[in-house]
Structure 1
Amino acid sequence: MKREIGLLGGVAFISGTMIGSGIFMSPQFVLAYIGSPGASLLIWAFCGVVAMFAAMSYAELGSIIPESGGEFIYILRIYGSFPAFLAAITFVVIVKPFGVAAVAISIAKYATAPFYTGCDPPQLIVKCVAAGVILTVAVVNILNVRLAVKIQVVFLFIKVLTLTLIVIGGIVALTRSQRVIVQNLSPDHAFKGTQYSFSTTGMAFYQGLWSYAGWYNLNYIIEELKRPQVNLPRAVIIAISLVTGLYLLVNVSYLTVMTPKELISSSAVAVTWGNKVLGSWGWIMSIAAALSAFGSLNGTFFSGGRVCFVAAREGHMPDILSMAHVHRLTPSPALIFTTVVSLLVLIPGDFQSIVNFFSFTAWIFYAITFSGLLYLKIKKPELPRPYRVPIILPILVLIAAVFLVLAPIIDDPQIEYLYVTLFIFSGVLIYIPFIHYKLCPNLLTKLTIFLQLFLEVAPAEKNL
């Protein structure tokens, strides 16, 4: 596959994936979990700091191990095959499909909201629209890499314009009346009702960090990034600084016109804000939010297919998933597989539960990856690294990751967390016969040959 992504494309893949469904849907969940407007703003700010430190740490890892694949390839090179396989199967089957499904649901809710004023759209309609959106993004990514990159850049501008509109609208509303924001953010009310338990704080962070999901995106596609040693850290700093500033201003704008009760009860915060500020033109926010989330879905899907592709290339997934189309140069089998799993996840899931279990599962492997960076910094400082960060950054992010994994379990244990953990470790049943001993049923070989001919794909080499 070719290096098609420059600095602007890199910024678009990070910030364009981060700015999506989260800032339009997560504010009410963050506020509901943490309990007060002031504390919710602190959560949003701290999530931005965590995302920045985490992305900068990943940038150093990317300079040491300049291969696509994100957590999978880093764990493979540092800790070996077995933990890398657990990471691969978890990201391919749970994390990435859950992320795709959650964003698709948010797009569907915003796209159908104008047709169901005063009530929530039927779940069947939402799921059908979400499935259509996933299939549309899949077709785009399978057909052309350049088209997917252009879509990401164009939709980034739409996202920034949308959030800027919300910020300006909040300023205009503030000039008309300061009653609501004074009630929300005055010293007497800003932190009133704050819930300080480990579980509620952890869940609030899950929802907030979901809105920053995408800080790691370029590490999945380093082999398709031009001048990665330079463009990776630059794109990270530009993108996350932009997103954090916009998120804080947008949340203040929400609190300028909505009380905490109104914000929590809203099924689509941006639509409620639009109805209050824009009046009869409030429907514009539904369209803008849906388009914004579409760009995020494109970035999530793009990177998700690469994890599957790289894992298969390293022998941790079926060979067919490591192949690329002979003409279009896209990893079409891996993208098709990601599409199928995402559609299956979509059937039983709802937005809030998908985000919570996505975050819990993902941060387990983020923590392992940060510990790997610490190992390399301490034990192998001689490795060439064009970009490096102070050791305190991965230490702080590792502490945050451990907190995010343990806090909900300690304070409010749920059986679903046990199911996720059992699923991760059940990978040993597949790893021992098929990866360690390399058993390959004859039927799988015949199926691989058939699919290779049918899909017009061939093995792809690394682009280092």
Structure 2
Amino acid sequence: MIGSGIFISPKSVLLYSGAVGPCLLIWVACGVLSTLGALCYAELGTMITKSGAEHSYLLESFGSIVAYLYSWTTVMVLKPSSFAIIALSFAEYASAPFYPGCTPPVVVTKCLATAATFSIVTVNCLSVKLASYVQNIFTAAKLVIIAVIAVAGIVMLCQGRTEHFSNAFETSSVSLGSIGLAFYNGLWAYDGWNQLNFITEELQDPHRNLPLAIIIGIPLVTVCYVLINVAYFTVMAPSELLLSPAVAVTFGDRVLYPMSWIVPLFVVFSTFGSANGSCFTAGRLAFATGREGHMVKILSYINLKRFTPAPALIFNGLLSLLYIIPSDINTLINYFSFAQWFFYGLTALSLIVMRFTRKELHRPVKVPVVLAVLMTLVSFYLVLAPIIDKPEIEYVYCTAFILFGLILYFIFVHKQVTWAHNMMRPITMHLQLLLEVVPPEKFE
């Protein structure tokens, strides 16, 4: 969960919330909402122990069409573009020390982001254990910088640096739409609360470890995020924070000098680890959708020697490289966030639906249904509020892209047009030979 978001989102959350008090409350509320969502996913993940998270749950509850639209949107846009944004964040922080006082050239950040993407995909293709080992190392590194900032903020509070918390709730009026946008940016930092559900089949004892990871992990992240924002406000007024090009770096320059260099260094570690986690789970989603026939079958194949879903990982990496090429893709992601939360709400609704339609399924973890109802309502609020408050044509483009998936579903999944399958057969054969991959049923 901890990646580039906590070093990027604080400015936007403050901007849309209007003051220090509402800003901190939104960070807490985002943590609570992530926990509610993850608890709903814990029931779904232990009830349907298939990798693929939302795709598997939507398939069971609403059928093939809804699951396909989710996989189409997520595999083609949401997952690879998120990977690309994290890789670009890594590149910006990694190149910044070499260009003091100025912005690094675009070509440098693009090349670094490309190199990071290539390295991460390679690691994940080589070994599941190696990818997990890399994740553990960089998780430890990101916890170090979180602890440094949080402890430094507590020290500043003890020294009486509380002037920016006085009149914390004096704010100009905020609209329902701006609150929704504040939540979007806060929840971007929490994004990843559902990642374990993408690899349920690879977890040891998921009935125990999945809910345990949620109960321990997300509240811990929430406390860390709130402490980090409190630390920022101990040394920066709201106006200064909004003007800061990199909030964590500004904090480090004011509090940790001459050791301020550790902030960009550990942010680099944090973003690299986050990108590795994104690649790890995105590959599993592409694998799951390929296995169900919602994407080309080659994506569901597994390497014969290394037992990794190499085609799915490589496909996600190639799409990510395409999203790195444009100068700025953050706007695209902002407009597709409403699609992400639409599917989160639909997944929470699937839990409610399956309480009535799939009563026979074993539920090792069973949450109160009111949590799923609350998660559904909040998700659809986050979808609708920004659109109603500030309707823009880009939302229409995004909706049209999602619905375009219906045409592809009709041609390739429902009708299974012969010429399309005949065209893919020799391509699949050559890719099998090149990547040394076989269908997953060969391992059963």
Q: Is the structural similarity TM-score above 0.5? A: yes
| Residue 139 of structure 2, aligned match among 142, 156, 160 | 156
Other-structure match for 2:22: 39
| Residue 83 of structure 1, aligned match among 52, 56, 66 | 66
C-alpha change, 1:347 and 1:67, in structure 2 (3 Å) is: same
Q: How far off is 1:360 after superposition? A: 1.7
Q: How far off is 1:351 after superposition? A: 6.2
Paired residues of 2:323 and 2:329 also in contact (CA < 8 A): no
Other-structure match for 1:11: none
TM alignment of 1:62-141, pairs within 5 A: 62-141=45-124
Q: Distance in 1 between matches of 2:342 and 2:232?
A: 32
Q: How far off is 1:463 after superposition? A: 9.1
Cα deviation code 1:303-362 (max 9, x no counterpart): 001110110011111111110110011000001100011111122253642542342221
Paired residues of 1:34 and 1:194 also in contact (CA < 8 A): no
Runs of 4+ displaced beyond 6 Å: none
Q: Distance in 2 between matches of 1:265 and 1:123?
A: 22
Greater mean deviation of Cα atoms: 108-117 or 98-107: 108-117
> Is the counterpart of residue 59 in structure 1 residue 42 in structure 2?
yes
> Is the counterpart of residue 423 in structure 1 residue 397 in structure 2?
no
Q: Distance in 1 between matches of 2:26 and 2:9?
A: 12
C-alpha change, 1:399 and 1:442, in structure 2 (3 Å) is: same
Q: Distance in 2 between matches of 1:185 and 1:168?
A: 18
Other-structure match for 1:310: 288
Q: How far off is 1:29 after superposition? A: 1.2
Q: How far off is 1:176 after superposition? A: 4.1
TM alignment of 1:34-433, pairs within 5 A: 34-178=17-161, 181-182=162-163, 184-186=164-166, 188=167, 190-348=168-326, 350=328, 352-433=330-411
Q: Distance in 2 between matches of 1:111 and 1:195?
A: 39
Greater mean deviation of Cα atoms: 276-285 or 115-124: 115-124
Q: How far off is 1:267 after superposition? A: 2.2
Q: Distance in 1 between matches of 2:150 and 2:124?
A: 32
Q: Secondary structure of the residue that 2:258 maps to in structure 1?
A: helix
> Is the counterpart of residue 460 in structure 1 residue 430 in structure 2?
no
C-alpha change, 1:242 and 1:358, in structure 2 (3 Å) is: farther
Paired residues of 2:90 and 2:271 also in contact (CA < 8 A): yes
Paired residues of 2:78 and 2:333 also in contact (CA < 8 A): no
Runs of 5+ consecutive residues of structure 2 not aligned to the other structure? none
Q: Distance in 2 between matches of 1:194 and 1:236?
A: 36
Paired residues of 1:101 and 1:346 also in contact (CA < 8 A): yes
Q: Distance in 1 between matches of 2:330 and 2:26?
A: 17
Other-structure match for 2:429: 449
Q: Distance in 2 between matches of 1:462 and 1:296?
A: 32
Q: Aligned partner of 1:457: which letter?
A: V
Q: Aligned partner of 1:456: which letter?
A: E
Q: Distance in 2 between matches of 1:52 and 1:386?
A: 18
Paired residues of 2:52 and 2:289 also in contact (CA < 8 A): yes
Q: How far off is 1:163 after superposition? A: 0.5
C-alpha change, 1:349 and 1:387, in structure 2 (3 Å) is: farther
| Residue 2 of structure 2, aligned match among 16, 19, 22 | 19
Paired residues of 2:14 and 2:20 also in contact (CA < 8 A): yes
Paired residues of 2:336 and 2:398 also in contact (CA < 8 A): no
Q: Distance in 2 between matches of 1:40 and 1:195?
A: 14
Paired residues of 2:13 and 2:183 also in contact (CA < 8 A): yes
Q: Secondary structure of the residue that 1:221 maps to in structure 2?
A: helix
Q: Secondary structure of the residue that 1:374 maps to in structure 2?
A: helix
Q: How far off is 1:197 after superposition? A: 1.0
RMSD: 1.6
Q: Distance in 2 between matches of 1:204 and 1:385?
A: 35
Paired residues of 1:105 and 1:351 also in contact (CA < 8 A): no
Q: How far off is 1:270 after superposition? A: 0.9
Paired residues of 2:304 and 2:438 also in contact (CA < 8 A): yes
Q: Distance in 2 between matches of 1:358 and 1:430?
A: 20
Q: Distance in 2 between matches of 1:352 and 1:193?
A: 27
How many residues align? The count is 442
Paired residues of 1:223 and 1:462 also in contact (CA < 8 A): no
Q: Secondary structure of the residue that 1:66 maps to in structure 2?
A: coil
Q: Secondary structure of the residue that 2:305 maps to in structure 1?
A: coil
Greater mean deviation of Cα atoms: 77-86 or 116-125: 116-125
Paired residues of 1:167 and 1:249 also in contact (CA < 8 A): yes
Percent sequence identity over aligned pairs: 46
Cα deviation code 1:130-157 (max 9, x no counterpart): 1211111111101110011111112111
Runs of 5+ consecutive residues of structure 1 not aligned to the other structure? 1-17
Q: How far off is 1:177 after superposition? A: 4.9
Q: How far off is 1:438 after superposition? A: 1.4
Cα deviation code 1:350-386 (max 9, x no counterpart): 3642542342221111111111111112444342101
Other-structure match for 1:3: none
> Is the counterpart of residue 30 in structure 1 residue 30 in structure 2?
no
Q: Distance in 2 between matches of 1:167 and 1:303?
A: 29
